[in-house]
Structure 1
Amino acid sequence: MGLYEVYSHPVLTRYKASVCSRASVFVLVVYLLTYISPLLITYRSQGFWLKQSSYEEQPQVRFQYEMLMIGVTDVSGDYVAWSTFSNFNNLLGDKLRIPTVSVRESDRNGDGKPDRLSLQLSVPLSSKEQIYSIQLLLTFSYQLSRMSVVVMQTMVLLQSLSPVPVSQLFISGDLKLQQKEPLSHRGVHTDYNVSVIDSESPFASTYDLTTIIRNYQERNLTTYLSCPVPVWTVGRAASAPFQINAEIRYQWRQ
């Protein structure tokens, strides 16, 4: 003879404990580990499926007080020059012109990081010398620390020319980072933490701007002067020095 169900009801068992008991603490910990820890892991790993990403931060930039200047003094290509590298200066002979230099780095927003470089050079010239073009190389230390840790030395090349003799050059622009390939977010990147110019070298080829720029552009990370605005001033007295005024802003969005 078959059996059939006459009546049924579920059995519910409840376990209760006070808020400050060990059981309550254990349940709270289990909930946190179940729901919070996966979110933290996802956040710290930049996503489970994310392969590449980009971000912005303000770099720590410092002027290295290394400079190399070349000024063309006539249309035939004669020039005067100066640098902070003694070996290069020794190669110049009577073309060496030692300028008066004034440098100031300022922190306008008060965050502890310099955000502007003001540079002034007064280059002495003879009464027969005129300036038609200027090339000025400056070096910087550059650090990133938010996601990818980068410590390197970089440079910018300021250059401008005029069809007529001039007495002063003012140039303004933004120092920006250029990156060719993505960086790993692990480890410290110090591959480029070497001087852009080998100041110990006695060879003239070491200080050739073409060689310097060619080697520099082979790097994955470089800096350049974005949107440079040169302003020439004509009319120089015979005994007056040639003036170079440069303002470089360290862009916080890199």
Structure 2
Amino acid sequence: MAFYDVYSHPALIRYKTSVCTKATLFLLVVLCLTYISPLLVAYRSHGFWIKRSTYEEQPDVRFQYQTLLVAATSPRGDYVAWSTFPRLNDMLGANLRIPSVSVREDDHNRDGKSDLLIFRLQLPIKPEEQVYSVQLLLTFSYKLFRMSTVVMQSLAYVQHSSPVPGAKLSVSGDLRLMQRTPLPHRGLHDVYNVSVIDGSSPFASAYNLDGIIRRYQERNLTTVLSCPMPVWTVGRAAGSPFQLDAEIRLLHLLPPFPPGFWEPLKPPGIQNFGFFFPFFGLPQGYRGFFSQTQFFPTVPVRAGKAHRS
């Protein structure tokens, strides 16, 4: 005789126990393995909270056409100089030499921000003079917008000296942002939006290179010409000018900053979520096995019908 199902329903069985039993202790261990272990693993995997983060941004850098040049023309300390500051040029007297200067800013990726600055200078030198060292200051307007808004005035410093007189100096490097402390993750930061060189000062001390560099290095935010590749060419012909070529690349940067309130919560949540599943399945399986086999004595109670089919 064939049989068929007339009616069926699942039975729900609850396993109960008192507070001070081995089954209760086992349940506490299972709960700890399920919920606390993922947090401990996430914390031990290189930290739980983000204390410092970085982001990538192309800075908006513009050459301000402010320049200060000093060239030593003898080992005894003789020099010639030139600047874009009229007050300083008036102080130079016979040491003033007016060069020929050309500047080009290139935007290779056409995003409206300069990627390369090409600076070329030809300094007239008397036939009896030679150039042994060169110091050059170039000022820039530097801006960041993605996280905190940074507006500041910065500079690039080019320097090279040689015991052999030269005819040309070629320099190639990257203008990089230097930070002593991270920037805030939002807000306006314009405390350094002041002139690096005070061109309105009537005092010679305002144009001293040592003082300018020292005051500039006291700032939290500076730019530096890193990885320069100076090439010192000798053999200047009589009556020809001294040449200085500088190629300065304005690259993407990764400035550090302290994250805000919500950003540190994302990695812990993702880490905890990823570690939760391995720790959830195995303890729950042990919990069902030990309860059904009565490894730890409990009282099974039939709870009734769960649903009908």
TM-score (norm 2): 0.66
Residue 50 (structure 1) shift: 4.0
What is the DSSP-based 3-state SS (H/G/I as helix, E as strand, rest coil) of the residue aligned with 2:228? strand
> Whole-Å Cα distance in 1 between the matches of residues 50 and 232 of structure 2?
49
CA offset digits 1:103-132 (Å, max 9, x no partner) = 000011222211000010010011111100
Residue 186 (structure 1) shift: 2.4
Aligned to 2:85: 85
Which structure has more relative contact order (CA 8 Å, sep 6+)? It is 2
Residues 149 and 185 in structure 1, CA contact (< 8 A), matched pair in contact too: no
- Amino acid in the other structure paired with 1:125: I
CA offset digits 1:13-53 (Å, max 9, x no partner) = xxxxxxxxxxxxxxxxxxxxxxxxxxxxxxxxxxx954432
- Amino acid in the other structure paired with 1:229: M
Aligned to 1:126: 126
> Whole-Å Cα distance in 2 between the matches of residues 167 and 51 of structure 1?
51
User: Which piece of structure 1 moves more, 172-181 or 233-242?
Assistant: 233-242
Structure 1 segments, 4+ long, off by >6 Å, are: none
> Whole-Å Cα distance in 2 between the matches of residues 246 and 202 of structure 1?
30
Residue 246 (structure 1) shift: 0.5
Structure with greater helix percent:
2
Aligned to 2:189: 189
Aligned to 2:102: 102
- Amino acid in the other structure paired with 1:245: D
Residue 182 (structure 1) shift: 1.3
What is the DSSP-based 3-state SS (H/G/I as helix, E as strand, rest coil) of the residue aligned with 1:71? strand
CA offset digits 1:60-95 (Å, max 9, x no partner) = 000010000000001111100000011111110000
- Size of the alignment, in residue pairs? 208
Aligned to 1:162: 162
Structure with higher Rg: it is 2
CA offset digits 1:223-248 (Å, max 9, x no partner) = 00010010011111111011001000
> Whole-Å Cα distance in 1 between the matches of residues 104 and 201 of structure 2?
29
1:58 paired with 2:58, answer yes
What is the DSSP-based 3-state SS (H/G/I as helix, E as strand, rest coil) of the residue aligned with 1:222? strand
Residue 187 (structure 1) shift: 1.4
What is the DSSP-based 3-state SS (H/G/I as helix, E as strand, rest coil) of the residue aligned with 1:240? coil
Structure 2: runs of 5+ lacking an equivalent: 1-8, 10-47, 255-309
What is the DSSP-based 3-state SS (H/G/I as helix, E as strand, rest coil) of the residue aligned with 2:54? coil
- Amino acid in the other structure paired with 1:136: L
State how 1:1-254 maps to structure 2 within 5 Å: 50-254=50-254
TM-score (norm 1): 0.80
What is the DSSP-based 3-state SS (H/G/I as helix, E as strand, rest coil) of the residue aligned with 1:213? helix
Residues 177 and 253 in structure 2, CA contact (< 8 A), matched pair in contact too: no
> Whole-Å Cα distance in 2 between the matches of residues 234 and 216 of structure 1?
32
